[in-house]
Structures are given as structure tokens and as C-alpha cells.
A and B are shown apart, each in its own frame.
Chain A
Amino acid sequence: NAGVTQTPKFQVLKTGQSMTLQCAQDMNHNSMYWYRQDPGMGLRLIYYSASEGTTDKGEVPNGYNVSRLNKREFSLRLESAAPSQTSVYFCASSPRWQLRPQHFGDGTRLSIL
């Protein structure tokens, strides 16, 4: 089925470790997004890519980096994981920048000890 695929689904890290969350969409969407969702906090935008070749900071970019590898793929990297980054991470996409996200991945549940 068409959609947004995130890997991994679950991950446990130790403080200071690094990892990359992968996201791919097969709908030929121009724009892609990374969010985190914490209990009682709603969705918070980490980084976004309005189109291939561009990335910008969202509301909570500190401690993260992103790469828009091509039109399909948008990865999120934690360089030195901290317990405060324990969260559920969602990748999303939209056909164009002017529209809010229309497809979401199933999420990555990340725990940092």
C-alpha cells in the first residue's frame, strides 16, 4: 500500500549513543516532516523539508539533524541521545508545501536510558 514507512518501530538507546530514524514515502510528495509526540504535549515539529534539497528547523530542532536524501527519503539523526529525547517520533508527508501533512508513518517508539 502507498504511504509513509518508518524504521525502526522500536529502539532503546543509552545516553550518548547516536542513531538515525529512516523515513520513506512512495506518493511522490514534495514535502516531508518529522514530529515528536510526548504525553500531554501534542505533536511538535522537529524539522521539515518543503521540497527536495531543502530542510528547515521546526519548533524543537535542538539535538537533531535531518537529511533529505532524495524526494522519497527524509532521515532524522540523533547525534548524542539524551533521556529528554525519549518520545514517539512520526514522519509525515504532504503533496506540496502549502498543504498540511496528509500521510503519517506508524511511528518510532524511542527510549533513551
Chain B
Amino acid sequence: DAKTTQPPSMDCAEGRAANLPCNHSTISGNEYVYWYRQIHSQGPQYIIHGLKNNETNEMASLIITEDRKSSTLILPHATLRDTAVYYCIAASGGGGKLIFGQGTELSVKP
């Protein structure tokens, strides 16, 4: 899996969009970008994944740059319940291995 780099922490005002960046400059052509989050003392939660195109689901949007070296997870209207550690991974092929790096601790404030 390609190495990913994320800022250690970010703040966001409630109701505003939260934009979480991830750098994966060594990503290979067949590696997907996945985003997960983990709220303190709870289990992991899958958010979204993508290969080349931007993706959107009911939780978030994923914007991948054209060269695929970085991506941004967008939570369009952050709520207090979105306070969590967010993890970006770049992975290909089969396998359930999930190696989360340091992630970004997002604090949504009223």
C-alpha cells in the first residue's frame, strides 16, 4: 500500500464543510483511495473510496486530483457527531489488511 500523509488535526465549525486532505504521492495505478473514521471507543466506519473519478455518497464526497497524488474528503455540513479521527489509505488488490496511519483528528465545534 502507498504511504499516505495527513495533517494531525483540524477544526471545523458546525454546519460548515470539512475538507480533509490526504497526500499519496507514490500511489500506483491500481490502488484505490479509501477513507475511514473512528469515533473514540467505537469501531471503524467506512466512509468512501475511489480510484480516479470523484465520488459522492450519502456521507461525503471524495475529490481525487488528476495525477492521483492527493485527495480531499469533504463532509458537506459537519455536525458534532462527525468529530472523529479520519484515516486515508491507498490500497490495491485483495486483502482485509487495514493499516491506519496517524490520521487527522477532526474537531467539529459549535
Give the interface of A toward B (CB within 8 A): 31, 33, 35, 37, 42-43, 45, 48, 50, 58-59, 88, 90, 92, 94, 97-107
DSSP class of B's interface residues: helix, strand, loop or mixed? loop
Q: How distant is the Cα of A105 from the Cα of B46 in the complex, in angstroms?
A: 11
Return A69 CB to nearest CB of chain B, in Å. Answer: 18
Q: Which residues of B contact A43 (CB under 8 A)?
A: 44, 98-100
Q: Say yes or no: A33 contacts B96, CB within 8 Å.
A: yes
A-B contact count (CB 8 A): 58
Q: How distant is the Cα of A99 from the Cα of B94 in the complex, in angstroms?
A: 6
Return B88 CB to nearest CB of chain A, in Å. Answer: 12
Q: Which residues of A contact B46 (CB under 8 A)?
A: 100-104
* 10 pairs, A vs B, C-beta closer than 8 Å: A42-B98, A59-B97, A94-B96, A97-B95, A100-B34, A100-B46, A100-B98, A101-B98, A107-B42, A107-B43
Give the interface of B toward A (CB within 8 A): 32, 34, 42-46, 49, 89, 91, 93-100
Q: How distant is the Cα of A98 from the Cα of B93 in the complex, in angstroms?
A: 5
Other-chain contact of B94, A98, A102, A105, A106 (Cβ < 8 Å): A98
18 more CB-based (< 8 A) A-B contacts, given A50-B94, A100-B32: A42-B98, A45-B97, A48-B95, A48-B96, A88-B43, A90-B44, A92-B96, A100-B46, A100-B98, A101-B46, A102-B46, A102-B49, A104-B44, A104-B45, A104-B46, A106-B42, A106-B43, A107-B42
Other-chain contact of B99, A31, A42, A99, A104 (Cβ < 8 Å): A42
Q: How distant is the Cα of A29 from the Cα of B53 in the complex, in angstroms?
A: 24
Other-chain contact of B89, A45, A59, A88, A100 (Cβ < 8 Å): A100
